[in-house]
Amino acid sequence: MQILQYLINGIALGSVYALIATGFSLIFNVLKFSNFSHGALMTLSAFSGYFIAAGNGWGLVPTILVSVLTGAAVSLFGEFVAFRRILTHNTSPVYFFVSSITLGTLYEGIVVLKVGANFYNYPRFFGKPYRIAGLFVARSDIIIFCISAAALLLLAYMIRKTKTGRALRSVSFDRDTASLMGINVTRTIQFAFIVSGALAGLAGVFLGINYTLYPTMGSIVVKGFIASVIGGLGSLPGAIIGAMLLGILETTLISIIGSGYAPVFTFVIMLVFLLVRPRGIAGSNIQEKA
């Protein structure tokens, strides 16, 4: 019974990690660099949801919308100021890395300017948890899981079945050749940033609902990295599987050994994966025949 309870708590946490990991993987796939501004973008979006919507007494849906839109818009802006020139000049990818860290610091700085070091809480959007057959199921967890699942399914459909998704996949493989097929590479990359930013906004709101809002909450993006590594860096289904596993594992570990030691174990697990199966659960190597 206890195990089931861990599982239920873990699934909601895992779905937030999945949102973070997929948003992060999306950019990794397209531009082959780790976007370290993703966490700070999440913070910025969650806070704008607070100040524009939730703080003014608006409900859950407007708060989510404001955060998602902010995430998408700021991400698009970030692509233009921090990454566009590096991309068009084919400079070394290490600049992406530096640029994304700088951008993340900027976002976080903006949040600190507004809120200082204070903690904020979204108003309570939800009533008491349900009690089903001796198990507690928080209403927020159900909503978080359903919306995350819907967002991820939509993303999977878009990537696999639509023209835009195909363009995105071909741009991830080879930008020059994709442009020779008539694909507008700049637009496609902008699109990836919009989707990634929207996912960051959604994840930010959900983190804010389950925990609190504070300027450095973006550091939780590390969990998204871990999930991507466990799942297979660059693989979206892998990121989702990795995130779910991580969520469930973490809640279980926290209950068993306490929140002090739990992070140690999650990092140990990531290291084990890197040692034993560095390409992750779903990662595959497609080798080109010469």
Contacting residues toward another protein, per CB under 8 A: 163, 166-167, 169-170, 173-174, 176-185, 286-290
Contact 34, 104 (CB under 8 A): no
Closest separation between CB of residue 243 and another protein, Å? 22
Closest separation between CB of residue 192 and another protein, Å? 16
Closest separation between CB of residue 177 and another protein, Å? 4
Name the residue among 273, 283, 172 with its Cα closest to residue 236.
283
Closest separation between CB of residue 3 and another protein, Å? 38
CA pair distance 198, 7, nearest whole angstrom: 27
* Beta carbon nearer to another protein, 87 or 185: 185
* Beta carbon nearer to another protein, 85 or 139: 85
Contact 71, 200 (CB under 8 A): yes
CA pair distance 6, 9, nearest whole angstrom: 5
Closest separation between CB of residue 78 and another protein, Å? 23
| Backbone torsion region of residue 272, taken as left when φ is above 0, otherwise alpha when ψ lies between -120 and 50, otherwise beta | alpha
* Beta carbon nearer to another protein, 27 or 159: 159
* Beta carbon nearer to another protein, 170 or 210: 170
CA pair distance 248, 201, nearest whole angstrom: 23
Name the residue among 35, 135, 11 with its Cα closest to residue 86.
35
Closest separation between CB of residue 76 and another protein, Å? 20
Contact 228, 241 (CB under 8 A): no
* Beta carbon nearer to another protein, 128 or 163: 163
CA pair distance 148, 18, nearest whole angstrom: 8
* Beta carbon nearer to another protein, 180 or 275: 180
CA pair distance 93, 28, nearest whole angstrom: 11
Measured from the Cβ of residue 132, the count of other Cβ atoms closer than 10 Å reads: 9
Question: What is the crossing angle of helices 262-276 and 221-231, to 10°?
Answer: 30
* Beta carbon nearer to another protein, 116 or 176: 176
In the block, tokens 């608006």 appear at 58
Closest separation between CB of residue 185 and another protein, Å? 7
